[in-house]
Structure 1
Amino acid sequence: MDLIAALRAFSRVAESGSFSAVAREMGTTQPAVSRQIAALEDYLGVRLLHRTTRSLALTEDGRDLLAHATRVLEAVEETEAAVGRGRASPGGLVRIGASVSFGRLYIAPRIGTLLDRYPDLRVELSLNDGVVDLVHDGLDMAVRVGEVPDSALVARRIGVVRRICVASREYLDRRGRPTRPADLAEHNCIVMVRRGGADWAFDGPEGPEHVHVTGRFQTDSAEAVRQVVLAGLGIALTPAWLLRDALVAGTVEELLPDWRAPLSPIHAVYPTRRYLAPRTRAVIDFLVEEFRLDPVISAYGQA
C-alpha cells in the first residue's frame, strides 16, 4: 500500500464528505478510493469512517488520524519543495475557483502564459457565482471580490474593483443621461442583488451620496448584467472590467464620472495551513504580477 496516497485520499474524503468527488479529483473511480480507505483501515487496525448509503462521518480514530495526516501531508509537500523536484519548476495540479465573469475575462486569458512559464503545472478553473467552500470542493485557492470574513481562509490582496455606472448608448439616447446620482431614481436600473442591492453609494464633489434605485430586472449574475446592459435595458453599477470592451468600442458609456463608488478589494484566498504548496504560491504570485500591470484592477495608484 502507498501510505502517502492513502492518507491523501482519506484526508480529502474526510474534508469533502464524498468518495465520488475525491475520485473525480484524483482521476480514478469511487471503488478505487474506497479500496484505498479500506486498505488504510486494515493497515492501522481501526475503523476510520462510519458509512451509510447517504452519508459518512469520521470515527474518533478517524478524527485523530485526520489531524496527524494533515501534518504528514504538509511535511511531505514541504520536503518535496526543499529537496529534489521542488527545486525545479513548480508542478502538479492547482484547482482555482472564481466568479464566472471574472474568471472568463481575467483568469482564463492568462492561463496560457502561466502554463508556458511553468511547464509542469496543470490548472483546473472552476467558475461559480456563489460563495464556494474551498475545502469541500477541493479547491487549492480562489479569487474573490470584497472582504473575506471567513477566518478559516488566508487572504492576499491582489487587486481592486472600481465600480462605475454604465448604460448602452441606445438606452441613453432614448431615456436621457443622468447628471447626478439623484437622477438615477428616474431611470430603469439593473440591480445586482448580492452587491448592495438597490441602494447605490457614491462619493462625489459634495461628499457621500446614496440613492435608492428601482428597475424591472435584478439578478445575482454579473454575466446577466452585462447582457442586459448591452441589450439597452437600463443603467447598471458594475465593475469597470465587466464591459471594458464595449466602453472602448463606444457602444456603452460611463456615467457620472465625478461620482465614485467605493472600491472593493480582490483577494486570492486559500485554506489556513501552516504550509502553502509551491505550485499554489506560484499561481498567486503570477496573478499578483499580472494584475499589477492592468490599470483597471491594479491596487497600485488607486485611492
Structure 2
Amino acid sequence: METLANLECFARSAETGSFSAAARLLGLTPAAVSRNVAMLERNLGVRLFQRSTRKLSLTENGEHFLASIGAHLEALQTAIGAVTTERGEPAGVLRVSLSPSFGIGHVLPLMPQFLARYPLIRPQWHFENRRVDLIAEGFDAAIGGGFELTPGVVSRTLAPAHLIAVASPAYLVTHPRPAHPEDLAHFDNIVLRSSLTGRVRQAVMRNAAGLESALRLPESIVLNDPVAMREATLLGLGISLLTVPDVLPWLERGELVRLLPDWYMDLGAISLYYPSRTLMPAKTRGFIDFITEHFEREGLAKRFCALESSAAPMG
C-alpha cells in the first residue's frame, strides 16, 4: 500500500506543476518530494510525470491516477488532521503566517505558553509582509489584516487596526505639536511604501465625532517596513503613522508620544484567518482557541483601539 506522503507529494506536484512548489506546501525539501514521487512511480510501475528542466507535466497515466485519488486523498487528509494522539493531545506541524511587526511583538512571546499547553505541536511560523493564500500555500492559519476571504477561508476579528501619529520626545523639543491633522504637512514625515503595491500609503484620519481629514504628507523618509518606521521615529527623525500595537509599549514607557490624541486612521481589523473545514484539525482548533483566549484575557481589543487604549489620552 502506498504511503500518504507519496500520494501527497504526487498530488501537490501535479497541482503546482513543480516539485519545489509542492515542497514549500508540504514543508519538505524538493529532493524529498521528487524521491517520494519516484517511489510511487516505481511501485505503480508507470510514469506519472514528464520531466524537463523547465516543466513538470502529467502523463496520461498520471492524469487518470490523479482523478481517481483526488477526493479520497482529501477525505483521508481531513480525517488524519482531525484526530489527536492516544492521550488526546493535538499534534503535528502548525503552519502560521504573521506580519513581522505584530507577530514578533505580540504572538511570538506566547510560544512558550502555547507549547506548554500543546507540547506535541511543532510550530512552523512564517513572519512576512504579505497576504498569503492559506489554502493554496498550505497554511493552517494567519494573523493580519486585509486578507481576501476566498472560498473556504473564514476570519475572526481580534482587534481594530488603528494608526496613530507618534513622535519622539527629542523631536518635539524643536518642533511644536500639531493641533490638527493638516498640520502634519509641515513636519518631517516618515511614510510607508507598500512592498505589495509599490505605493506610498495615503492617510485619511478621523475622530470620534466622525469628521475626516484627507492628508497629503510630504515624503521626508520613505520606508517599507513598520518596524523600521518605528525605529526611525525613536531616532528623532520625524513623525510616523503606526498601528497602536506597534507603538503601545513605547508610548507606555514614554519613549514615544502620541500626537493628535483625538485623531486616528482606521485600517479595518486585525483578524485570525483559517481554512473552513468540516473537521478542523485539532492543532488548528487549539491555536485558534489559545489566541482568542489571550486577546480576551488581556483586553487587547480595547488596548489596541485608538479611542479606548492607554495610548488614547496621551498627546
TM-score range, shorter chain: 0.7 to 0.9
RMSD between superposed Cα atoms in Å: 3.2
User: Contact between 1:160 and 1:299, CA under 8 Å: does it hold in 2?
Assistant: no
User: Contact between 2:82 and 2:279, CA under 8 Å: does it hold in 1?
Assistant: no
Q: Secondary structure at the match of 1:243?
A: helix
Question: 1:166 corresponds to which residue?
Answer: 166
CA change 1:69–1:236 in 2 (3 A) is farther
Give the superposition deviation at 1:297: 3.6
CA distance in 2, matches of 1:299, 1:226: 19
Question: 1:225 corresponds to which residue?
Answer: 229
User: Contact between 2:250 and 2:256, CA under 8 Å: does it hold in 1?
Assistant: yes
User: Contact between 1:198 and 1:214, CA under 8 Å: does it hold in 2?
Assistant: no
Give the superposition deviation at 1:85: 2.7
CA distance in 1, matches of 2:24, 2:143: 22
Between 290-299 and 97-106, the greater mean CA deviation after superposition: 290-299
Give the superposition deviation at 1:282: 1.4
CA change 1:26–1:81 in 2 (3 A) is closer
Matching of residues 166-245 of structure 1 within 5 Å? 166-194=166-194, 197-205=201-209, 207-245=211-249
- Does residue 269 in structure 1 map to residue 281 in structure 2? no
Give the superposition deviation at 1:220: 2.1
Between 27-36 and 153-162, the greater mean CA deviation after superposition: 27-36
Between 221-230 and 72-81, the greater mean CA deviation after superposition: 72-81
Give structure 2 stretches of 5+ with no counterpart: 309-315
Give the superposition deviation at 1:33: 2.5
CA distance in 2, matches of 1:139, 1:83: 18
User: Contact between 1:201 and 1:208, CA under 8 Å: does it hold in 2?
Assistant: yes
Give structure 1 stretches of 5+ with no counterpart: none
User: Contact between 1:247 and 1:254, CA under 8 Å: does it hold in 2?
Assistant: yes
Query: Structure 1, residues 74-96: CA drift from partner, whole Å, max 9, x if none?
Result: 43354446667377011111011
CA change 1:153–1:28 in 2 (3 A) is closer
Give the superposition deviation at 1:122: 1.0
CA change 1:77–1:151 in 2 (3 A) is closer
Give the superposition deviation at 1:284: 1.6
Between 259-268 and 190-199, the greater mean CA deviation after superposition: 190-199
CA distance in 1, matches of 2:141, 2:272: 7
User: Contact between 1:155 and 1:268, CA under 8 Å: does it hold in 2?
Assistant: yes
User: Contact between 1:165 and 1:235, CA under 8 Å: does it hold in 2?
Assistant: yes
CA distance in 2, matches of 1:79, 1:142: 22
CA distance in 1, matches of 2:69, 2:160: 37
Between 203-212 and 166-175, the greater mean CA deviation after superposition: 203-212
Give the superposition deviation at 1:99: 0.9
CA distance in 2, matches of 1:73, 1:266: 34
Question: 1:287 corresponds to which residue?
Answer: 291
Q: Specify the code of the residue in structure 1 equivalent to 2:36.
A: Q
Q: Specify the code of the residue in structure 1 equivalent to 2:75.
A: A
Question: 2:4 corresponds to which residue?
Answer: 4
Give the superposition deviation at 1:25: 7.1
CA change 1:134–1:67 in 2 (3 A) is farther
User: Contact between 2:2 and 2:40, CA under 8 Å: does it hold in 1?
Assistant: no
CA distance in 2, matches of 1:149, 1:27: 24
User: Contact between 1:48 and 1:61, CA under 8 Å: does it hold in 2?
Assistant: yes
Question: 1:33 corresponds to which residue?
Answer: 33
CA distance in 2, matches of 1:282, 1:76: 21
CA distance in 2, matches of 1:174, 1:64: 73
CA change 1:18–1:198 in 2 (3 A) is same
User: Contact between 1:97 and 1:139, CA under 8 Å: does it hold in 2?
Assistant: yes
User: Contact between 2:93 and 2:121, CA under 8 Å: does it hold in 1?
Assistant: yes
Question: 1:122 corresponds to which residue?
Answer: 122
CA distance in 2, matches of 1:69, 1:156: 33
Give the superposition deviation at 1:149: 4.9
Give the superposition deviation at 1:228: 0.6
CA distance in 2, matches of 1:300, 1:236: 17
CA change 1:162–1:180 in 2 (3 A) is same
Query: Structure 1, residues 133-167: CA drift from partner, whole Å, max 9, x if none?
Result: 44554432211223535446332323322221111
Question: 2:282 corresponds to which residue?
Answer: 278
Question: 2:111 corresponds to which residue?
Answer: 111
CA distance in 2, matches of 1:34, 1:84: 29
User: How many residue pairs end up in the alignment?
Assistant: 303
Query: Structure 1, residues 202-232: CA drift from partner, whole Å, max 9, x if none?
Result: 2354622222111321222111111111111
CA distance in 1, matches of 2:273, 2:56: 28
CA change 1:212–1:30 in 2 (3 A) is closer
CA distance in 2, matches of 1:265, 1:70: 36
